Structure 1
């Protein structure tokens, strides 16, 4: 009788493209969360009469949209 045991890890690491897909999805969600926060604070700044701050935060939110669009384009390319 043998006490020899085999333990094989059948979990394969993700390939590079799969890792990128996962990262892009995470970054898109994370970026959208930040955008929502910027817009929320822009609204609050407006109520406090801080119109220039509101405008800047709205610009940052728009820039975040542009970043998200680029990440989505990259994700789409990987899925082809």
Structure 2
């Protein structure tokens, strides 16, 4: 049996995911700076790379949200 999925529930869930990711993005950027300043440039760069992937994820989530 398939659960009925309400449009408003889907939109709310996607908005939650986007906001949650934004919180992580802020943290990633702050910590990347601190880690880089501590001399771990490669790790800092990888964290920034991860942040970029999360931004891409948010773009896709926003596109999905906009399509509903």
TM-score by length of 2: 0.90
Instruction: Give aligned pairs, total.
Output: 64
Does 2:42 align with 1:52? yes
Does 2:65 align with 1:75? yes
Q: Provide structure 1 residue ranges, at least 5 long, that are not aligned to the other structure.
A: 1-14
CA radius of gyration, larger in: 1
Higher helix content, 1 or 2: 2
Q: Provide structure 2 residue ranges, at least 5 long, that are not aligned to the other structure.
A: none
TM-score by length of 1: 0.77
The runs of at least 4 aligned residues of structure 1 exceeding 6 Å deviation read: none
| CA displacement at 1:65 relative to structure 2 | 0.2
